[in-house]
Amino acid sequence: MARDEHDHNLQREIKSAIGADPELRATHIAVSAHAGRVTLAGVVVNDEQRTRAQRTVQGVRGVRTVENVLEVAER
């Protein structure tokens, strides 16, 4: 499988995992992946969602590292 295709499939699996979590479903999280290195960006409502997103992504097969640059929204 080509690297780009692998990265695209990994992104899709991560987005599915985030969407399957009721606590994260309504968030707007951008996902990028390259060779198992994943970056999460966007805005969440609290630190719990930020941490939960990282744990969810770390549980996806093929993820080697996660850079979590999610911001917590000011309310």
What domains sit in the chain, N to C, each tagged with a CATH number?
3-72 (3.30.1340.30)
- Number of CB atoms found within 10 A of residue 47's CB: 10
DSSP for 14-29, written as a single string: HHHHHHHSTTTTT-EE
Give per-residue pLDDT as tens, 14-26: 999 999 999 998 8
Percentage of the chain exceeding pLDDT 90: 83
pLDDT at 68 over 80: yes
Tokens of 67: 């850079």
